[in-house]
Amino acid sequence: MINKLLLKGALFPILTIMLFAGCDQLTNSKVEKHDTLHVKFINDSTSTHTITTIQLKAMGKVDDENAVADTVWGADILEERQNIAPGEHRFFDLNIPNLHYCIYCLGVDDGTGKEVFLDEQPEYNEDNVFILIPTITHWGSDDRTVSVRLAYNQEKNLIYIGGWEDFAGIE
């Protein structure tokens, strides 16, 4: 009789320990990593040109000073024959890990139907006061609004990014 009571008394703590150990395994299992960023990409209504290509280059973790950037631009994230006219937007699901960022390069219609990549223009370089390097960051939310304003400098015959925004949430 005493053995049965001891067994019953020991069984409850053992089952309790097993139950909590099972819960601990469930809560400590690998946390899902959020690598998909849902982006609303806006060509500002005051832009001077239509966007015809958007290419990304991964830059690594936002706070990593030693991060190594991709060496080449990725494929166009716009679908074939798709563009973003001034005042329009498109939605994208991008593979940017949480706490990482990328830069982007734009191809635009120069107004004659010819596509011009901003970074391939003769006057487009880091020494030029007009040049901004826009980013898309996966920080603070899995949803992001990115807005870019394209401008034109007639004196230099240069299409450039006159301003950009990148913030958490969809606006």
pLDDT score for 11: 42
How far apart are alpha carbons 94 and 110 in whole angstroms?
Answer: 27
Mean confidence (pLDDT) of the chain: 83
Identify which has the larger pLDDT, 88 or 18: 88
**Residues 26, 104: one domain?**
no
Query: Minimal CA–CA distance to 77: which of 89, 60, 94?
Result: 94
**Residues 20, 69: one domain?**
no
Please say if the pLDDT value at position 31 is more than 60. no
Identify which has the larger pLDDT, 97 or 34: 97
- Output the CA–CA distances (angstroms, integers) from residue 64 to 17, 68, 82, in the order listed: 41, 9, 34
What's the number of domains the chain is made of? 2
**Residues 19, 43: one domain?**
no
52: helix, coil or strand?
Answer: strand
pLDDT tens readout for residues 108-155: 999 999 999 999 998 887 677 677 889 999 999 999 999 999 999 999
pLDDT score for 33: 58
Identify which has the larger pLDDT, 148 or 22: 148
pLDDT score for 126: 67
**Residues 23, 66: one domain?**
no
**Residues 41, 25: one domain?**
no
Query: Minimal CA–CA distance to 120: which of 43, 55, 47, 68?
Result: 55
| Residue 152 in tokens | 């034109």
86 burial class (0-12, 13-18, 19+ CB within 10 angstroms)? middle
**Residues 26, 58: one domain?**
no
97: helix, coil or strand?
Answer: coil
**Residues 91, 20: one domain?**
no
Which structural domain range is residue 125 located in?
Answer: 36-168
- Helical (H) or strand (E) element with 73: none
Rg (the chain; Cα; Å):
26
Of the ranges 33-47, 57-71, 82-96, 103-117, which one carries the lowest mean pLDDT score? Answer: 57-71
Please say if the pLDDT value at position 17 is more than 50. no
Side chain identity at residue 11, one-letter code: L
pLDDT score for 22: 44
Q: Give the CATH number for residue 75.
A: 2.60.40
